[in-house]
Amino acid sequence: MPATAPRGVGHLRGDEPFPAAARRALADAQLRRNLGHATTTIRAKSGAVIGELPDWEQLRAAGSAIKADVLARLPELLEQLEAAVTAAGGTVHWAADAVAANRIVTDLVAATGSDRVIKVKSMATQEIGLNEALAAAGITAVETDLAELIVQLGEDRPSHILVPAIHRNRAEIREIFLRAMPGVDPALTDEPAALAAAARRYLRQTFLTTPVAVSGANFAVAETGTLAVVESEGNGRMCLTLPETLITVMGIEKVVPTWRDLEVFLQLLPRASTGERMNPYTSMWTGVTPGDGPQAFHLVLLDNGRSAVLADEVGRQALHCIRCSACLNVCPVYQRTGGHAYGSVYPGPIGAVLSPQLTGVEDNASLPYASSLCGACYDACPVKINIPELLVHLRAEHVAAQRRPTAESVAMAAAAYAMDHPALYAAAQRAARLTRLAGRRGRGLPPPLSGWTIGRDLPEPPARSFRDWWARR
Ligand code: SF4
């Protein structure tokens, strides 16, 4: 079995189980207001532009089929990608896990002599804890995506895949800038345009003076060795074009076979994520072009538990994810708790199925239960990942791994035995009716079964069972 992501490095595991973290988040009324406003706005925008496409369902099916094809022949496609990148003047590095990837990137930056890198927003580098690894080597990483910058200056953690500072409102952002942004005007207001201008002034100088950039990648085209980054601000493009050295860290599942395949995802992603018809800044590059852009390009292909996910026939569909965040915006659990409660850099429904698989389910055992199984995430997903099915699959895996009887497993075993013995089953039904006589409707079950009725009413047994009715006829 391939290795899962190692412990002690990166950000795939939280400090506490989801229920404890969620309880604290639920008590934060400001957080819930910020989340409610932001997710409702994005959802409405996305729904409107998706409604314009008569072939949205066919596009979803195509996206899903391409991803299934990629996973079925991943080794072959990655080798094709490596050959194409190398032929175009780039260098490909294979990183088995977060430790290896951090070491490769740190060594590459150190070899340039720079003590600072600029970064394009990237989930993969957050996953492996690259900023911390660089800091340990005396290298400062400057986030250039506006929301990531807010998170970094606030010494905070991202709470959404697409909008990492979704939990902050503009008054809080102004306060962070005044406190932590070098050279900021003390008269700064909380007008969005003023906040963006302050960030632009700070970042522009950094872009022009930093010789190394680190990025992630949304896609890589195997046939030509082309990398693609999609973003909304243009800051990413500054990082991808101005420095002398560009280092890209990419999860191995991000490869697509051809440009025709890429076209499908460039239609799906902006509509499902930011609710735009077309992505504002789509940057693509192939190796190195003399005299134009970075003159050294390194691609780090990251596994970090992905091969273990791939080995699970049911679970592997989590690797179809294109990180659009649509499942977060529709999830009733995420909308109330926000992303920090999930512990991992991957929050929401996709985090609840991806993180436990990357780490091994026992290291994130509470996450598959962080869902009502309402199915909204499945309906919203542009690549048709059946997240509810994965949640149930992982819950079963967790229960099997426990090896000790739980209250639920004991109750289920007793129910199975009773159903297998008609006389016992009839007696159990009569006993259940006693609870009706005792007027227990709406109350909870006694321990150890009380957990089942904390959030549910105990159904009232019918006055007459089907068996009684049948016997009398
Ligand atoms: S699981 Fe689907 S909806 Fe959620 S982020 Fe990934 S692609 Fe988007």
Query: Is the distance from the beta carbon of residue 385 to the nearest atom of ligand 1 less than 6 Å?
Result: yes
Residue 301 in contact with ligand 1 by CB distance below 6 A: no
Q: How confident is the model at residue 11 (pLDDT cuts 50, 70, 90)?
A: very high
* pLDDT value of residue 107: 98
Q: Label residue 165 by pLDDT band (50, 70, 90).
A: confident
Rounded to 10 degrees, the C-alpha dihedral 210/215/221/223 comes to: 50
Task: State yes or no: pLDDT of 115 exceeds 90.
Answer: yes
Q: Structure tokens of 407?
A: 């209250």
Tokens of 58: 């066919």
In the numeric block, which tokens belong to residue 119?
A: 């970064």
Q: Which tops the pLDDT comparison, 468 or 313?
A: 313
CA atoms within 13 A on the CB side of 121: 26
How far, in Å, is the centroid of ligand 1 from the Cα of 293? 32
Q: Which of 273, 379, 381, 384 is the best mutation target for the ligand 1 pocket, counting ligand atoms within 8 Å of the beta carbon and taking the most? A: 381
pLDDT digits (tens, 9 = 90+) for 65-95: 999 999 999 999 999 999 999 999 999 999 9
CA gap 225, 79 in Å, rounded: 10
What token pair was written down for 234?
Answer: 């243009």
Nearest alpha carbon, ligand 1 atom 2: 381
User: In angstroms, rounded to a whole number, what is the distance separating the alpha carbons of residues 330 and 275?
Assistant: 13
Q: Is there a contact between 351 and 367 (Cβ–Cβ < 8 Å)? A: yes
**Substitution site in 319, 327, 390 for ligand 1 pocket (most atoms within 8 Å of beta carbon):** 327
Give the C-alpha separation, 399 to 362, whole Å. Answer: 10
pLDDT, tens only, 286-311: 999 999 999 999 999 999 999 999 99
- E strands of 182-254, at which residues? 212-215, 219-221, 226-231, 245-251
Checking if the pLDDT of 138 tops 90, the result is yes
pLDDT value of residue 438: 52
* Residue 229 scores a pLDDT above 80: yes
Percent of the chain exceeding pLDDT 70 equals 96
Does position 161 have pLDDT exceeding 90, yes or no? no
3-state SS, residue 215: strand
Pocket test for ligand 1, best of 230, 322, 331 (most atoms within 8 A of CB): 322
Q: Which residues of 76-110 are buried (b: 16+ CB within 10 A; e: fewer)?
A: ebbebbbebbeebebbbbebbbbbbbbebbbebbe
Cβ 25 under 6 angstroms from ligand 1? no
> Which residue puts its alpha carbon closest to atom 3 of ligand 1?
381
pLDDT computed for residue 281 by the predictor = 96
- pLDDT category, 442, cuts 50, 70, 90? low
CA distances from 462 to 84, 308, 435 (A): 68, 48, 11
Q: Is the pLDDT of residue 417 over 70?
A: yes
CA of 387 to the centre of ligand 1 (A): 9
Convert the pLDDT of each residue in 189-205 to its tens digit. Answer: 999 999 999 999 999 99
User: Of 58-72, 109-123, 415-429, which gets the smallest average pLDDT?
Assistant: 415-429
What is the reported pLDDT for 463?
80
CA distance 355 to 318: 10
pLDDT value, residue 440: 53
Look at residues 348, 326, 324 and name the one whose alpha carbon lies nearest to residue 336.
348
In angstroms, the CA 246 to CA 251 distance is 17
217 lines ligand 1 (CB under 6 A): no
> CB-hemisphere CA count at 13 Å for 470?
4
Res. 443 pLDDT band, cuts 50 70 90: low
d(CA 325, CA 340): 15
Protein residue with its CA nearest to atom 7 in ligand 1: 321
| Residue with more model confidence, 207 or 439 | 207
Q: Measured from the CB, is residue 5 less than 6 Å from ligand 1?
A: no
